[in-house]
Structure 1
Amino acid sequence: MRIYHYTDLNGLKGIIENDCFWATNFYFLNDAQELQHGMQCIVSSLEYLKDEFSGRSLKFIRDAMTKFELFEARHMYNISFCRDSDLLSQWRGYGAKQGVCLEFESEELFESLSFSECASISGEVIYTKPDSTPKAKSKITDFFRREDIAKLIADDPFHEIIYSADFARKATPFFKHESFSEEKEFRIVIQPINRLNNVKVRVNDYGLIPYLEIKAKTKLPLKSVKIGPCKDKWLMTEGIQFLLQSKGYTDIPCSYTETPYRG
């Protein structure tokens, strides 16, 4: 799957010069309630799974969600991508700041990154209403009905506790309120094993923002750069190509947005 990372020129410079992305703590994203939304969707759906799961199994999942909220949710980080290479709402977000869009292949990018001392998972975001349960029900059923997981649980019921916790970590971060559906988000979710190790902090208009630097093992598998609305296309292209080539990113094509937006 092709995925796209929108950023401004400062972001592009940092990504290319350091061969890395910044993963932002979930509690400091544009939707401050993201993880709560996922937890609400999953817990609400348990009431409608009584015919498919035992009471004990549902209790394990509910307990795992509670522990996730209490002990793990504040230590989850996200790198955001989009499945659309030329999305007007993304360009608008940068306004006077020059926006660019970096193209990658999702699996290739994931494999290229070094998640040292971190757990990581990637996938498409699921957009739902807070009180909607069908997608959460499907997520639960699909996870626990996987042949490998079902066999381990059948052989040793203790595995049900382990995989309930695993489900909470892997599923919750991919639910988001349906009002953000236009974003068509794909994300890489990271959880440090040692929660505060390697955490950095940057400053923005809202305060201090915790983040992790997720570096590439060598170079990022960048496919192309799309330039958003700008005053001087030629000058913008020349500057970007100079940056790319000076850092070993050769033969990376640049193109321009087709969106008639002036910023």
Structure 2
Amino acid sequence: MTKRQLVIIRVPAELTHFTTLSGLQGIVEKRCLWSSNVSFLNDRKELQHGITAAEKILREFAASKKKSIFTRIIDDVIDDLKQTKLPDTYATCFCTSHDLLSQWRGYGGRVQGVSVTFDGAKLQSLFRSQGGTPMEVIYDKERTVRRIRTSIITFSGLEDLLAEKDVGRIRAEMKRRLPKLVPRFKDDGFSEENEWRFVIQKENDFEHVKFRDADGVLVPYLEVAVPVGKRLPIKRVTVGPGKNQELTMRSVQLFLEAKGYEKVPVDPSAVPYRS
């Protein structure tokens, strides 16, 4: 890796994952977080948003280099992206806020929502140990174009890649590097979330991949777990709006104490419950 490619990403001091009560139970008992394959999630518009921005910048970049072979390679890569022929790219999502009305609304009163706040630096170390890269989600459309240019050209090292003489290697590297950036982009309407994602790429890792049922689809996912005997870097749990919020809080506190997280505070959401 050259100095130009070396990008240091500083994550926020705290990152929060919104989930259900049963989701919290699974995270704590299994000592892991799930990283889901982005190709099988329902966020197709999100993926298309990133692909469209990437295509624009890539074609401009190829035209500026005046290399026909590079243009053909980009055509291949973009075509694969549009057909969802992504490498196995997995992501786990977090917010910088632990109490968001937009997140609680997603549960619609059907299930009890909670948020789990983690130490950002320790979370980054956990994902790094399993090949994960932290990415701040980009929302603003003008910034998307500008920042995807920086991400693709600098972070992905395209300038250095062009120096390669092996066309096959250039094509393979382009197909490997670019899809990793796609989960980084999201529509402006979700900007309140201030989302971060940890992205992992695995090539045909059937030994470790698991599957879960979600809206009629078997979604592939990876378990990002702490070593045996270690605990997740949980700093706080917030119980979302609910009809029995106080009782839920007491049950969560007891559960955490039983699992060795007795110092983790459990707080109520400031958002009022509406039945």
Range of TM-score over shorter length: 0.7 to 0.9
1:185 and 2:199 aligned: no
Cα distance 1:50–1:200, how it changes in 2: closer, same or farther (>3 A)? Answer: closer
Counterpart in the other structure of 1:75: 88
Q: Is the 8 A contact 2:39 2:84 kept in 1?
A: no
Displacement of 1:31: 1.3
Partner AA of 2:126 in structure 1: S
- The worse-fitting range, judged by mean Cα deviation, of 65-74 and 10-19 is 65-74
Cα distance 1:198–1:255, how it changes in 2: closer, same or farther (>3 A)? Answer: same
The TM-score normalised by the length of structure 2 is 0.78
1:19 and 2:27 aligned: no
Aligned residues: 256
The 3-state SS of whatever aligns with 2:196 is strand
Partner AA of 2:42 in structure 1: N
Q: Measure, in 1, the Cα distance between the counterparts of 2:120 and 2:172.
A: 28
Q: Measure, in 2, the Cα distance between the counterparts of 1:171 and 1:19.
A: 27
Counterpart in the other structure of 1:223: 235
Q: Measure, in 2, the Cα distance between the counterparts of 1:25 and 1:162.
A: 20
- Sequence identity (%): 35
1:93 and 2:106 aligned: yes
Q: Is the 8 A contact 1:223 1:252 kept in 2?
A: yes
Matches within 5 A, 1:1-263: 1=12, 2-49=14-61, 53-55=65-67, 60-66=73-79, 73=86, 75-96=88-109, 97-113=111-127, 119-127=131-139, 129=141, 133-143=145-155, 158=166, 164-217=174-227, 218-262=230-274
Cα distance 1:62–1:105, how it changes in 2: closer, same or farther (>3 A)? Answer: farther
The 3-state SS of whatever aligns with 2:148 is helix
Superposed CA offset, 1:94-134 (max 9, x none): 12211111111333112124865xx421211122559x733
Superposed CA offset, 1:214-253 (max 9, x none): 2122211001111111233432222111111211222001
Q: Is the 8 A contact 2:104 2:113 kept in 1?
A: yes
In structure 1, the gaps of 5 or more residues are none
Cα distance 1:167–1:65, how it changes in 2: closer, same or farther (>3 A)? Answer: farther
The 3-state SS of whatever aligns with 2:86 is helix
Partner AA of 1:83 in structure 2: T
Q: Measure, in 2, the Cα distance between the counterparts of 1:233 and 1:215.
A: 29
- The worse-fitting range, judged by mean Cα deviation, of 246-255 and 9-18 is 246-255
Superposed CA offset, 1:59-102 (max 9, x none): 55554444566685162222111122211010111122111111
Partner AA of 1:181 in structure 2: S
Q: Is the 8 A contact 2:87 2:203 kept in 1?
A: no
Cα distance 1:150–1:208, how it changes in 2: closer, same or farther (>3 A)? Answer: closer
Q: Measure, in 2, the Cα distance between the counterparts of 1:58 and 1:20.
A: 42
Cα distance 1:30–1:181, how it changes in 2: closer, same or farther (>3 A)? Answer: farther
In structure 2, the gaps of 5 or more residues are 1-11
